[in-house]
């Protein structure tokens, strides 16, 4: 999914605010929550997930030119907003998948209300502060530095030229707005919620925590902590892979997620 408009894009009204929604596939529902830099080259609505699920992939408020409700300042706020979206869409027995801040949103949502979530997949999720390592600074660095931090080995990233291509004025403005919204949501505390570890223990649904082993932004320690805090979690690290395994190691990522989804009842 790129910055371009897609054929399967619609608008959904949530709490009086319009949200950009991408939808594809068929089968039971799956909600995919993107990370702070958007979808990148990963389109969940036309890939393997869409072969077995009806995939809903919204743009978060404040991203991709969508408006931000005046009251929305934190990831917890965004989790409440997304819960309202789930009700508006009428999703029941759905799988919840989130990458980076999308994983953080998903974890918060599951802690709030898990009764209609069939399974949870956290992909290099923000939200937890490591005890030994550090979360890398991404706001006060250049776009080139952020790009290098995102992947372990760019040579193995399909369609890597997408990330290095020159942007149009409109695309550059959208990317800048995305980073502005990300900093609004995640600056203090920096990319984590100190309270989150204390209420993850109540999330009993089957969970897959999948992580790029060489994630240079959110260390693999964070994934191990998530897996320990969530009572019914399985942890899978993908070697020679950075912060975006769905883009850097798509085959291994898809196989890992598929094996987990096959085990859901």
Is residue 121 a contact partner of residue 96, using CB atoms and an 8 Å limit? yes
Segments in the chain forming alpha helices (H)? 75-89, 101-112, 143-150, 161-164, 169-186, 196-199, 220-229, 245-248, 250-262
* Averaged pLDDT, 211-223: 98
Q: In the structure, what pLDDT confidence band is assigned to residue 4 with cuts at 50, 70 and 90?
A: very low
The answer as to whether 56 is a domain residue is yes
The answer as to whether 225 is a domain residue is yes
pLDDT > 70? residue 1? no
pLDDT > 80? residue 213? yes
Tokens of 88: 């508006």
pLDDT > 80? residue 265? no
* Averaged pLDDT, 170-183: 91
Is residue 241 a contact partner of residue 214, using CB atoms and an 8 Å limit? yes
Q: Measured at the alpha carbon of residue 120, what is the angle toward residues 179 and 132, in degrees to the nearest 5?
A: 60
Write down the pTM of the prediction.
0.96
Contacts of 21 (CB under 8 A, 6+ apart): 9, 10, 11, 12, 56, 57, 58, 59
Strand, coil or helix: what is 17?
Answer: strand
The answer as to whether 255 is a domain residue is yes
Report how many domains make up the chain. Answer: 1
Mean confidence (pLDDT) of the chain: 94
Backbone angles phi, psi at 24, to 5 degrees: -165, 165
Most distant pair of Cα atoms in the chain: their distance:
47
The answer as to whether 4 is a domain residue is no
The answer as to whether 3 is a domain residue is no
pLDDT > 50? residue 248? yes
The answer as to whether 196 is a domain residue is yes
The enclosing domain of 175 has a CATH number of: 3.40.50.1820
Q: Which domain holds residue 200?
A: 9-262
The answer as to whether 169 is a domain residue is yes
Percent of residues, the chain, with pLDDT higher than 70: 97
The answer as to whether 38 is a domain residue is yes
């Amino acid at each position: 999914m790129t910055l371009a408009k897609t054929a399967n894009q619609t608008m959904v009204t949530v709490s009086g605010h319009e949200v950009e929604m991408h939808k594809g596939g068929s089968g039971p529902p799956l909600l995919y929550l993107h990370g702070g830099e958007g979808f990148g080259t990963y389109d969940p609505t036309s890939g393997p997930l869409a072969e077995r699920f009806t995939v809903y992939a919204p743009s978060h408020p404040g991203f991709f030119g969508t408006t931000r409700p005046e009251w929305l300042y934190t990831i917890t706020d965004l989790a409440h907003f997304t819960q309202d979206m789930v009700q508006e869409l009428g999703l029941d027995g759905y799988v919840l998948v989130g990458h980076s801040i999308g994983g953080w949103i998903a974890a918060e949502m599951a802690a709030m209300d898990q009764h209609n979530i069939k399974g949870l997949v956290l992909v290099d999720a923000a939200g937890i502060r490591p005890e030994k390592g550090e979360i890398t600074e991404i706001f006060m660095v250049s776009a080139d530095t952020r790009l290098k931090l995102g992947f372990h080995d760019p040579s193995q990233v399909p369609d890597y030229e997408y990330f290095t291509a020159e942007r149009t004025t409109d695309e550059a403005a959208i990317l800048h707005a995305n980073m502005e919204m990300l900093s609004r949501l995640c600056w203090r505390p920096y990319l984590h919620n100190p309270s989150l570890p204390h209420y993850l223990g109540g999330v009993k649904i089957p969970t897959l925590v999948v992580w790029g082993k060489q994630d240079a932004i959110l260390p693999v320690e964070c994934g191990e902590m998530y897996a320990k805090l969530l009572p019914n979690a399985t942890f899978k690290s993908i070697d020679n892979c950075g912060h975006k395994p769905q883009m850097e190691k798509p085959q291994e990522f898809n196989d890992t997620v598929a094996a987990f989804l096959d085990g859901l009842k």
